[in-house]
A and B are shown apart, each in its own frame.
Chain A
Amino acid sequence: MTQIDPTSESQPVVTAASGLKRNSFWPRLWRSKVATISAIIFLVVVIAAITAPWLSPADPSAIKIIQRLKPPGFTNSAGTTFWLGTDALGRDVLSRVIFGARVSLIVGLSAVVISGTIGVLVGLLSGFFGGLVDDIFMRICDIQLSFPTILLALTIMAVLGSGLDKLILVLGLTGWVQYGRIVRSQVLALKNDEFVLAARATGEQRWQIIFQHILPNVWSPVIVIASFTVASNIVAEASLSFLGVGVPPSVPSWGTMLADGRQYIGVADWLTAPAGVAISLTVLSINILGDWLRDYLDPRLKNLL
């Protein structure tokens, strides 16, 4: 019988959480110019989303059709300047872009929490128990993967109707598979490691082994996937809103701004350009950060960053 030493060096001690606490995080981020710029852009978006009610120069939903389709820099009779112009209903484009950040981040992050929670749980249980449990979960994964995500989301939204809450739910429920698969593969690799065997040998409950020993060691890939999924959720929200099944038309969202502005693209390009730039910059910055995070959390690339 194999003797397990609980204090053995083979027991993983570096979790993602502890990894992030390492002193090298900020210096290494700072060393990558692209990652630093991306972090700054993302931070600006986050701050804009949090402080939107105070930062916005006007109410983003205030309709005043008398001042519709005014170009950037227009100042009305009350002395208010519309730095990015007004839309087809006279609403301030800048304020809508700022509030749009809020919608994008709420959808992006909330959906990640839902899909991440489901996916991690499925991956943990599927990988740890194997057998029938694994078969059932993996077949569900296969079925889910056989539907294009955006088509599935479109269908569900068409049935449920538009709304921020429904959009989050739909994206959350359609995006869990990749978490499940990655976590499952990690668990399969970890479950026979010595620290798990040691925990078993000491008589720990299964849930303790899963959540206290295995879970902390699968955070790295989960964090990386989450970062990419936030970006893809933002794009999905914009796409669904653009197609008219995302958030209601009155809610300022970058996708609805693109949809509303596209018929005026030849005569009022300021309706679409700011939302398009906002989506591109946000998604690009999150993707670059995710890419950097993946490299940062990969021990093989530790010395390259």
Chain B
Amino acid sequence: MKNPHLFRASVLALGLTVSALGGGHATAASRPVVFLNSAEPVSLDPMFTQADANVILSIHETLFRLDNKGDVVAALAESIKMIDPLNWEIKIRPGLVFQNGEPINADAAVFTFDRAKTLFAAGKGDLTFALGALKYDHMEKVDDLTVKLVMTVPDPIITSHMVNPELSLLPPKYYTQNPPEKVAFAPVGAGGYKFVSYKPGEGLVLKAFDKYRTGKPPVDDVIVKAVPEVATRISEIKAGSADLMVGVPADLKQDLENAGAKVIVAPSYRRLFVAIKQGRNPALADVRVRQAMNHAVNCEEIAQVLLGGMAKCSIDLVNAPNQDASLKPYAFDPGKAKELLTAAGWVPGADGVRAKDGVRLSLNFDTTNGSYLMDKEIAQVMADSWKDVGIEIADLRVIDNSVSSQMRAKQGAGYRDLMNSSSGPDYTCQGDLLLVQKASGSNRMSWVDDKFEQMFKAFNQEFDQTKWKAMCDAAQAYVAEQAPVVWMFTEPTFYGVSKRLDYEARPDGRVYLNLVLKGVKD
């Protein structure tokens, strides 16, 4: 070497360049994906919350689950066979383990289904919805990888009911040896992500599980943080301190894109409505009052103006393809609303608010702020619309998203007369109809109708699929007319996604991390 200084300088420069590149890569690769959720988890024990399905089904896994297209696929189960209408044989995939190394086998399945039954019988947990849908008597072990599920009633859509996160398989040793208060926030499951730590305010730290049944998820580290305010979530995405949020308002799509983030607008099957609570205000027991409330709201204007034309107003009790497309939503007709209210005996008072027998038609409305697209704003518009026909919203209360999650988990306990709510798709008509079924955990308005119950019972036990369409349409038409809710729309989902994140949206709007995070480009 003629010039040793030049050689040394070159080596040094090369070393610095390599270390800089390598270091940069290491730093970038070690940066976790940050997902901003709207509320802190109620629990990470799948049997104790319905509200945290996104994180529950990222940590845990069920026998069957919905893939990204909405199809029911075998997950921990390998196959299912009907022995007779009340007995089903389920085979479990061989060679799978939980995140703590316990084997996934028939013992784990029996333990899980027994635990759910025991908790439900003791009035513990949040199992009303799951066990209201899947009516089983018990599960028994056939061999190490085979179980028999014994039902109490025939159920033609049993696999659809087994996708519910509450029935995620649990490792028996871990959940037997540890007290409930420990497992509530230190879960062990069979899902794509292992629990690392959780502190309210700081977030839930997850790590990819390398023995996950379909292989290690493409993103190694994820932090799920609760940020209730939409504005704060947007600021964090813009600042680059977070990678994923749900619920970007249509107005701010461009703003977020201008800041270098992506906004993915995906159609979803999440149905939005305002639940009308029964049992509090007698006025709401009258179908004419409920129909009037539907006629008074200009859903089309809300969908077009507030949601940028992305939502479609419909009576969407049942999702496509089972939805009866010929069912027309309630027309915006304040005149008709007034007629119905007058016919029901509610006449306008001096201040425009209707009254009957000296009682004002005055209701309370609970809304979230940031749980759904423009939820607080839509609630105010609806309150204004009802005022125009003589229905007073005495108190429009904005409730915290975490509180709302807990209220929903308790079948609407704590809500007052009206509450904004939503329902995800079940992909079966029978499952979607549970929204208004008496014993279902998703009937948060306590609406009970004997005629509907008879229709539902007959439908739910019908194995002849050729009859399903007619039964589904009849039930939809009847519920639409009864108006147990103020029908709104199926809303699209607006995801705010950082440039580095590769994301695949699901039609149910769920953020199951192992299925939707497709990689990070650092």
Contact status B398-A250, CB under 8 Å: no
The 6 A-B pairs at the shortest CB distance, nearest first, are namely: A263-B231, A63-B384, A65-B305, A266-B255, A262-B231, A267-B255
Of residues 195 through 231 on chain B, the ones whose CB sits less than 8 Å from some CB of chain A are: 229-231
Could you pull out 27 A-B pairs where Cβ atoms are within 8 angstroms?
A: A63-B380, A63-B384, A65-B301, A65-B305, A65-B306, A68-B305, A88-B377, A161-B397, A162-B398, A163-B395, A244-B369, A248-B395, A248-B396, A249-B379, A249-B380, A249-B396, A250-B383, A250-B396, A263-B229, A263-B249, A263-B252, A264-B251, A265-B231, A266-B252, A266-B255, A267-B252, A267-B255
Q: With A263-B231, A263-B234, A264-B251 as given contacts, are A244 and B306 in contact (CB-CB < 8 Å)?
A: no
Asked if B305 and A162 make an inter-chain contact with CB atoms under 8 angstroms apart, the answer reads no
Interface size for chain B: under 10, 10 to 19, 20 to 34, or 35 or more residues?
20 to 34
How many inter-chain contacts with C-beta < 8 Å in the A-B complex?
55
Least CB distance, A270 to chain B, in whole angstroms:
14
A66-B301, A66-B305, A263-B230 given. 19 additional CB < 8 A pairs? A61-B384, A63-B380, A65-B302, A65-B306, A89-B380, A161-B395, A161-B397, A162-B397, A248-B395, A248-B396, A249-B380, A250-B380, A262-B231, A263-B229, A263-B249, A263-B252, A264-B251, A267-B251, A267-B254
Encoded as 1 (CB less than 8 Å from any A CB) or 0, chain B from 352 to 395 comes to 00000000000000000100000011011101100000000001
Q: From B403, which residue of chain A is reached at the shortest CB distance? A: A158
Residues of B contacting A63 with CB < 8 Å? 380-381, 384
Q: Which residues of B contact A66 (CB under 8 A)?
A: 301, 305
Residue in A63, A88, A262, A263 whose Cβ sees the most chain B Cβ within 10 Å: A263
Q: How far is the CA of A147 from the CA of B346 in the complex (A)?
A: 48
A65 — nearest CB in chain B belongs to which residue?
A: B305
How far apart sit A250 and B383, CA to CA, in the bound complex (Å)? 9
Interface residue ranges of B300-341 to A (CB < 8 Å): 301-302, 305-306
Determine the chain B residues whose CB is within 8 A of the CB of A263 once the complex forms: 229-231, 234, 249, 252
Report if A275 contacts B (CB, 8 A): no
Min CB distance, B263 to chain A, in Å? Answer: 14
In chain A, what residue has the closest Cβ to B400? Answer: A244
Contact pick for A69, options B251, B383, B384, CB 8 Å: B251
- Chain A residue contacts of B229, Cβ below 8 A: 263
Interface size on A, residues (CB 8 A): 21
A163 CB contacts on chain B under 8 angstroms? 395
Chain B residues with CB below 8 A from A267, complex form: 251-252, 254-255
Closest Cβ–Cβ distance, residue B240 to chain A (whole Å): 15
B252 touches A264 (CB 8 A): yes
**Residues of chain B within 8 A of A88, CB atoms compared:** 251, 377
Nearest CB on B from A244, distance (A): 5
B:233-264 near A, CB below 8 Å: 234, 249, 251-252, 254-255
Check A89–B251 contact: CB distance below 8 A.
Answer: no
**Inside 8 A of B379's CB, which chain A residues have their CB?**
249
What string of 1s and 0s marks CB contacts (under 8 Å) between B57-68 and chain A?
000000000000
- Closest-by-CB residue of B relative to A158 is B400
- Which single residue of chain A is at the shortest CB-CB distance from B379? A249
Complex: A265 Cα to B229 Cα, angstroms = 14
Which B residues touch A162, using CB under 8 A? 397-398
The CA-CA distance from A244 to B399 in the complex, in Å, is 8
Which residues of B are found within 8 Å of A161, using beta-carbon distances?
Answer: 395, 397
Q: Which of B306, B380, B381, B396 has the most CB of A within 10 A?
A: B380
Collect the chain A residues with CB atoms within 8 Å of residue B255's CB: 266-267
- Residues facing B in A244-302 (CB within 8 A) are 244, 248-250, 262-267
Whole-angstrom CA separation of A267 from B251 in the bound complex: 9
